[in-house]
Amino acid sequence: MRLVTRAQWGARAYRTPNGATPYSRPRRGVKLHYLGTAYSDRPHDQCAAYVRQLQAQHMDGNGWSDVGYSFLVCTHGYVYEGRGLSRRNSANGNTALNEQDYAVLLMVGSSGLTKPTDAQLDGARDAIDYCRTKGGAGTWLGGHRDGYATACPGDTVYAWAKQGAPRPKTTTPEKEKPMSYRDVWEQDAAPAPDSSPTKKTNPTWKPISFLREIYDLARETRDLVRDIRDQQKKGA
Ligand SMILES: [Zn+2]
Ligand SMILES: [Zn+2]
C-alpha cells in the first residue's frame, strides 16, 4: 500500500479532545465515500494540496476536529492517512455510524471525474485490507448511503463496494494458453473429420471419436511391428 502519512501530506494538527476520540469497540467494516462535489483529475503532485483543502473545509467550514475520513484515496492509488486506524472518523453521518465502520474516501466527484481509476480501486482495496488486517475491521463493506440518507458514494463506487471491492483486472497480458487439439481442429475448419473414413461409415461419429481412431491406429501399428519382428526372427 502506498500510504501517505499525515506528516507527508502536511496535515494540520487535529483539535483535542474530540479529534483524539478513539473507537470504543471494534469496527463492523468499511464505508466508502466520494466527494459529492465536482472534481477534475489532476497531476499527483497536486493531490496532497487537495487533501489539505478538504481538511481545512472540515475543520474550518464544518467545525470538525480534523478531516472527517479515516483514509483518502487519490486517483493515482495513494492512500492518505486521515483519522487513521484508531481515532474515530466523523464522516459516516452520526456518532453511532462513525463508531460502526471506518470511512474511506475515493477522490472522485458527483460530476466531472465520477468514475474511479483502476489505480484508485487498487488503492481503495489496499485501504480496506489495511483496516481489516491492522485496524480490526470486520468484513462488512458498503457505502455512506447504507443507513443514512445520502447519494454518497455515488452509484459506481457503491456498486463496486457491493461486489466486494474486487481489484481491477490487470492489464498484463495473460500467459498464452497452449491450444488443445480440439481448438486447433476447430480453428482449421475441421478438414480432418470430413476426410475420416470412420465418419462416412458411422453416423454417430463425433470429433472425440478421432482419439479412438488414433488409438486403434497405434495399436494396429504396434501389432504390425511385432509381426515384422517375428518374421525376421523366423528368417534368421
Ligand atoms: Zn460520504
Ligand atoms: Zn494522486
Instruction: Supply the DSSP string of 33-90, one letter for each residue.
Output: E---SEE----GGGHHHHHHHHHHIIIIIS--SS-S-SEEE-TTS-EEESSTTTBPPS
Report the pLDDT value the prediction gives residue 88, as an integer from 0 to 100: 98
Report the pLDDT value the prediction gives residue 232, as an integer from 0 to 100: 86
Ligand nearest the Cα of residue 146 is 1
CA distance 118 to 73: 12
Ligand nearest the Cα of residue 154 is 1
In angstroms, the Cα distances linking 81 to 105, 208, 236 are 11, 59, 90
Do 123 and 200 fall within a single domain?
Answer: no
Report the pLDDT value the prediction gives residue 195, as an integer from 0 to 100: 46
Distance 2 CA to ligand 1 centre (A): 23
Ligand nearest the Cα of residue 46 is 2
Convert the pLDDT of each residue in 31-64 to its tens digit: 999 999 999 999 999 999 999 999 999 999 999 9
Distance 197 CA to ligand 2 centre (A): 66
Report the pLDDT value the prediction gives residue 194, as an integer from 0 to 100: 46
Distance 8 CA to ligand 1 centre (A): 24
Convert the pLDDT of each residue in 92-151 to its tens digit: 999 999 999 999 999 999 999 999 999 999 999 999 999 999 999 999 999 999 999 999
154: CATH: 3.40.80.10
Report the pLDDT value the prediction gives residue 193, as an integer from 0 to 100: 47
Q: Is residue 229 part of a domain?
A: yes
Do 156 and 189 fall within a single domain?
Answer: no
Domain that holds residue 211: 181-235
Do 138 and 64 fall within a single domain?
Answer: yes
Predicted TM-score (pTM) above 0.95 = no
pLDDT, mean over the chain = 90
Element (H, E) at 143: strand 140-143
- Count of the separate structural domains present in the chain: 2
Confirm if 2 and 79 have CB atoms less than 8 A apart: yes
Judged against a pLDDT cut of 50, whether residue 23 lies above it is answered with: yes
Do 47 and 93 fall within a single domain?
Answer: yes
Do 192 and 109 fall within a single domain?
Answer: no
Report the pLDDT value the prediction gives residue 236, as an integer from 0 to 100: 62
Distance 207 CA to ligand 1 centre (A): 58
Q: Is residue 21 part of a domain?
A: yes
